[in-house]
Structure formats: C-alpha cells, structure tokens
C-alpha cells in the first residue's frame, strides 16, 4: 500500500503531478466546509510556498514505508485539524475533522491524478486505477476515518465523485482567491527572494496561464454552475501544458524528484546546505539579468526585502503587521494568525504531545493578552490601526512565555542550550550566532532576547524572517 513499489510512489515524482495537485486544491476549496476552513485559518494566500512544502512533507510521511512515521504524522494531522472549526459567512458550521470533508480531499487527489494522465494522452489502465484507488483508501484509513465515506469500489467512486461535483461544490471565496488572486499575486519562493523584477515578469506571464489551465481542467458541470469563464483556446492550452510538463519525466531522475524540487524552492540563500553556494552564485547572475530587464521593459518591479544587518533593521508597524502578524492575510490579527505561527513551529520541530499543546497554549495566552491590550473596539480582532497605536504592548509576560516554551521545545536534549542541530531544525539555516564565550551554543537568555526583539521591537532578523515572514 505504501512506500517503494506502491502506485502512488511511482506517480509522486511525475512533474505533471504539480498541475494535478493545484487542480485538486481548487476542487477542495470549492467544498463549503473545506473552503470555510481555508478562509478562516489557512496561510495559503500569504505563505503559499511554506504551505506547499509542509503539504509535500506530510504526503511523503504518510505514503512512506515507515509505519511509525506514518502513525505519528496521522496523529499530528488529526491534532491540527481538530483545532479548525467554526462557522462560515452563511452561519453554516464547518469542522476540519468532518469525515465527509476529509474523504473529499482524498477523492480530489485520486481523481486529479487519474485526470492528469488522461489529459496527457496516457490514460491509466483499469488495474492501475484500481490499485491506486485502494492506496488512497488506505491513506484515508490511516488518518482514522472509518470506511464508508469513500465508496468501496472504483466503479462506485465515479458516481460519488459526479454527485459531489454537481450537488455539493460551490463557488466559494477560497476557490476564487486561488484562481483569481493567488496566481496573479504569488510571492516569490525563498529561492528567488531578492529578485523582484525577474519574479514579477515571470509571474505576469505564468500567472494567467496557470489560472486558465486550472479552470479549463475542472469538471464542465461545475465550471458552468460556478460561472467560470470559457476562454478561447483554453482546452488546447491545458492539454499542451500537461504534455509539455510531462516531457520533463524524461530528464534525469534527480532533476525532477519532488523531494529535491520542494527542498530547493524552500532553500534560503544563506543556508548552510551545500546547494546554497550554487544558489548564491545564481542569485548574482539573476540580479544582473533583472537589472537589464528593468532597462528594457516597462514592468515596475516589486520592492524587495531590505537587507539584514547585525542588530537588525527596524521596520515600520504596518509592514510588520502585514508580513509577520497577519499570517492569514485577511487584514486583521486574530487567533487563527497566532495559531498559524504555532502550527508552523510545531511542524518545523516535528513536535509530539504534550510539547505541541504547550506551544499552542502559550500562543493562546498571548492572544488573550493582546485582545485585552489592543482590541479597543471589542470586535474580537485587532486591526492594523489598533496595533500601530499600541505596538509596545506586544512585549508582555505572555510573549515572554511563548519565547520560553519555544526554547524548551527546540532544546530537544534539555541541556538548556540550543546547539547547531537544534538551531537548524527550527530555522533551516546555518548557525548564525556569535558563539564566542558561549561554548558554541545559543543560551536561553539570548534566545528569549532575540525572539522578543523580533516580535515586539520589529527588528529584521536573518533567522526569524524566514521562519515567520517568508512566503
């Protein structure tokens, strides 16, 4: 069912699967419950590359050969989803643990994988589809969802899929954001940070193409009901995209492995990964190319990030609010934003219980402290204006507690120091510390001081910016 030899493992590194995953995500977002959870709690708009990397890592763990890793990941996903519930804009309840909604997520991944081969002119054989369907059923079972929420047979699945598409999917806000905002405003991945001109040019061309390809690949009954546009030539463009991307499978395996691509996209140029040296050299060449493009094109480049320096560079309150605090990108600070921070930190450190709950509880206490200090109109959330008017209130006892808990869960061996390996697990970068007089370690007091300086003093920071501000 899982690991080497499985059907999923064979398809996972097919470059076309990137298109299939985007398509599956749009179909998931069109489900009312999933769309509501994405709008309220997800960071996919502001931090899409971080979300993509974490999703890839999760699928890798779930479909890997190690049963213990799979069980730990399933437990982590269940804890994460158990925290996502509420009501949507139409006062309908949603719950990320709803078994029907979770079954639909698995169904979209399976159907989009089958569709990717069909659109590429290589339809799967019946026996291959049946085996792949059994593997996805096993994936759902590994998450603890009991049988019956996905049909027992592949023949029954197609009737189930058509029924959900025609009767349950909606033109949700989350789906519209993915199709009409995310592609057009997609931030640069860490690999291309600092190259705004080149990225803006590539996105100006690729964003509309990606949106058109995705819309054209959606089921026709849903496109009609949701009022999605029928662009001339879109079907031909879509099939050409699948065929063109599919050609990449003839490249050397190391070039197209999903694991290598995901890691490369998330690689920071200042990382101690050996590949970072090549990235730094590539950056210099691309910056020169970007300077040339600015001379020959009217495209206005987006402002790049200011350089970091020893001691940090102060950023204004509005920028800090937008880049760090507003994790969900809705223009307000509320609990889902701080929960997203706790979720990202827990994922990076691969926390189990009770450490994960300790970190969430520390962030929850900080949120209550922020509400008391900054929510002047009592609407249950903090606007950018409310934050700017009382920003020093961020550095209260609850934030200090967040820093202390984060230090404790990062310090895996409990020796009251963060060594190079523990530092790398949290920041995914080299040990950027002056270790003179500290015996080569990051002490508790220094860690807490740096964290508070970043979170309350709005100092730019080489390690903390990629952790909480980077897309």
CATH code: domain of residue 430? 1.10.238.10
Same domain (yes/no): 325, 216: no
Same domain (yes/no): 89, 201: yes
Tell me how many domains the chain contains.
2
Between CA 106 and CA 422 the distance in angstroms is 34
Same domain (yes/no): 196, 345: no
Same domain (yes/no): 27, 159: yes
Task: Specify the pLDDT at position 438.
Answer: 53
Same domain (yes/no): 168, 48: yes
Same domain (yes/no): 65, 193: yes
230: alpha, beta or left? (left if phi > 0; alpha if psi -120 to 50): beta
Which residues in the chain come in under a pLDDT of 50? 301-312, 435-437
Same domain (yes/no): 324, 197: no
Residue ending a domain, among 224, 248, 272, is 248
Same domain (yes/no): 229, 332: no
- Over residues 59-83, the pLDDT tens digits come to 889 998 899 999 999 999 999 999 9
Whether 305 is in a domain gets the answer no
Residue with token string 């197209």: 256
Whether 137 is in a domain gets the answer yes
Say what the pTM is: 0.84
Same domain (yes/no): 322, 243: no
Same domain (yes/no): 231, 127: yes
Whether 348 is in a domain gets the answer yes
Give the start-end residues of each E strand in 277-422.
Answer: 332-333, 382-383, 417-418
Same domain (yes/no): 59, 172: yes
Between CA 30 and CA 169 the distance in angstroms is 5
Token representation of residue 333: 């600070």
Whether 312 is in a domain gets the answer no
Residue ending a domain, among 190, 218, 248, is 248
Whether 202 is in a domain gets the answer yes
Same domain (yes/no): 163, 84: yes
Whether 404 is in a domain gets the answer yes
Segment holding 95, helix H or strand E = strand 93-95
Residue ending a domain, among 190, 222, 248, is 248
- Over residues 298-346, the pLDDT tens digits come to 555 444 444 444 444 566 788 888 888 999 988 999 999 999 999 999 9
Whether 464 is in a domain gets the answer yes
Task: Specify the pLDDT at position 308.
Answer: 43
Which residue range is the domain that position 62 belongs to? Answer: 7-248
Helices (H) and strands (E) in the chain, counts: 23, 6
Whether 334 is in a domain gets the answer yes
Task: Specify the pLDDT at position 305.
Answer: 45
């Amino acid at each position: 069912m899982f690991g080497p030899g499985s059907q999923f493992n064979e398809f996972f590194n097919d470059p076309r699967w990137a298109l299939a995953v985007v398509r599956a995500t749009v179909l998931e977002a069109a489900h009312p419950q999933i769309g509501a959870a994405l709008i309220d709690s997800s960071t996919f708009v502001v931090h899409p590359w971080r979300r993509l990397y974490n999703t890839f890592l999760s699928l890798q763990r779930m479909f890997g050969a190690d049963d213990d890793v799979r069980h730990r990941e399933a437990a982590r996903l269940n804890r994460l989803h158990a925290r996502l519930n509420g009501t949507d804009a139409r006062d309908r309840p949603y719950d990320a643990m709803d078994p029907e909604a979770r079954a639909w997520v698995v169904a979209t991944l399976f159907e989009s994988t089958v569709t990717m081969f069909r659109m590429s002119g290589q339809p799967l054989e019946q026996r291959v589809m049946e085996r792949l369907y059994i593997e996805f059923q096993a994936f759902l079972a590994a998450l603890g969802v009991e049988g019956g929420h996905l049909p027992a047979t592949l023949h029954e699945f197609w009737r189930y899929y058509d029924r959900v598409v025609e009767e349950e999917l909606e033109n949700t806000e989350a789906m519209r954001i993915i199709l009409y905002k995310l592609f057009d405003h997609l931030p640069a991945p860490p690999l291309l940070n600092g190259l705004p001109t080149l990225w803006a040019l590539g996105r100006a061309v690729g964003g509309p193409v990606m949106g058109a390809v995705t819309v054209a690949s959606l089921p026709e009954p849903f496109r009609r009901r949701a009022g999605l546009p029928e662009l001339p030539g879109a079907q031909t463009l879509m099939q050409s995209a699948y065929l063109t991307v599919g050609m990449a499978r003839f490249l050397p395996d190391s070039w197209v492995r999903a694991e290598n691509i995901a890691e490369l996209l998330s690689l920071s140029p200042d990382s101690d990964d050996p590949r970072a040296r090549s990235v730094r050299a590539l950056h210099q060449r691309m910056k020169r190319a970007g300077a040339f493009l600015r001379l020959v094109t009217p495209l206005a480049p987006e402002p790049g990030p200011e350089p970091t320096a020893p001691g940090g560079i102060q950023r204004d309150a509005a920028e800090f609010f937008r880049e760090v605090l507003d994790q969900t990108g809705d223009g307000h600070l509320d609990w889902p934003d701080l929960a997203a921070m706790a979720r990202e930190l827990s994922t990076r450190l691969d926390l189990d219980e009770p450490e994960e709950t300790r970190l969430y509880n520390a962030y929850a206490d900080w949120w209550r402290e922020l509400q008391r200090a900054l929510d002047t109109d009592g609407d249950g959330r903090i606007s950018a204006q409310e934050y700017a008017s009382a920003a020093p209130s961020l550095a209260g006892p609850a934030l200090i507690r967040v820093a202390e808990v984060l230090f404790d869960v990062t310090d895996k061996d409990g020796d009251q120091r963060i060594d190079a390996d523990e530092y790398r697990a949290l920041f995914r970068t080299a040990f950027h510390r002056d270790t003179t007089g500290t015996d080569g370690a990051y002490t508790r007091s220094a860690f807490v001081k740096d964290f508070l300086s970043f979170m309350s003093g709005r100092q730019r920071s080489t390690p903390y910016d990629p952790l909480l501000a980077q897309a």
